[in-house]
Structure 1
């Protein structure tokens, strides 16, 4: 397994992981017809756009064959007005690679990026029904707020967590 900074050539592989992981992670949370309508081509184009934004930091996890099996992203959302802070915007892995420490390694890389940016606070948003929230809690994220959002006609709770000790998270990972 290898974690590295992603590049534009990775857009298709990232898109496949994005779609496939949404279909497994959000099964029984979002409607099946919505999940099945997710498109590899549409996601690939979206990821190509993500690479054009220099404030996005994108890392991929590859298996021993060089296939992308996960990714993590961070930066600072436009809605984030807190000085010296950033946002962990995603960590997604193919279902068969979850629980093997790969998410932890992606998170370590993202937090190292936060250190390079001299951020002292990090936020992450996660759906309440997404078990990944327990992963974030394990690494010290504290619940800041809950709000209602609507995705595919379903009202869900969006949780916003924060970390106030980036160096502490890096040392724990």
Structure 2
């Protein structure tokens, strides 16, 4: 397994992981009708746009298996919220279910942390659905819950937690 910085040619494979991860991670949390409406084609377009519009210090990383297949990704950069003291943000981290609990998520997490540190960031935050099983992973990485907000996905109101690291 290896983690590397992603490039635009990875967009479709990232989209496949993104859609698959949502369908497995959020089953029973987000409505089934919303999850079944997710498409790799639409998510690929979103990722192509993201690659073409990366801001300074934003990075996308992918995890590959031994055959070079993308099995996970993470991305992060400057915090998108001025409301909090954290200057960096982990925007997303997703890993196919079969590859979870093997240390790959930690590698993807650390790739974003190191990128943020290399670019002068000293703290980091993320938003995660309260019912996402990954909340435990973030707490094991030393994150502390410091806020929450309500969001709407698929017409349902859900709670997102703000988890932060005052020092990275």
Matches within 5 A, 1:17-166: 17-55=17-55, 56-80=58-82, 85-166=87-168
Contact 1:84 1:118 in 2 (8 A): no
Normalising by structure 1, report the TM-score. Answer: 0.91
Q: Secondary structure at the match of 1:100?
A: coil
Q: 1:81 Cα shift?
A: 5.8
Give the unaligned 5+ runs of structure 1: 167-173
What corresponds to 2:3 in structure 1?
3
Q: Secondary structure at the match of 1:131?
A: coil
Contact 2:86 2:166 in 1 (8 A): no
Partners of 2:134 and 2:99 in 1: how far apart?
Answer: 14
Q: Secondary structure at the match of 1:160?
A: strand
Deviation digits for residues 31-60 of structure 1 (CA, Å, limit 9, x no counterpart)? 111101101000001000110123231000
Q: 1:84 Cα shift?
A: 7.0
Contact 2:63 2:104 in 1 (8 A): yes
Deviation above 3 Å: which 4+ runs of structure 1? 80-84
Q: 1:83 Cα shift?
A: 6.8
Change in Cα spacing, 1:36 to 1:84, as seen in structure 2 (3 Å) is: closer
Partners of 2:163 and 2:44 in 1: how far apart?
Answer: 28
Q: 1:10 Cα shift?
A: 0.0
How many pairs align?
166
Q: Secondary structure at the match of 2:42?
A: helix
Normalising by structure 2, report the TM-score. Answer: 0.94
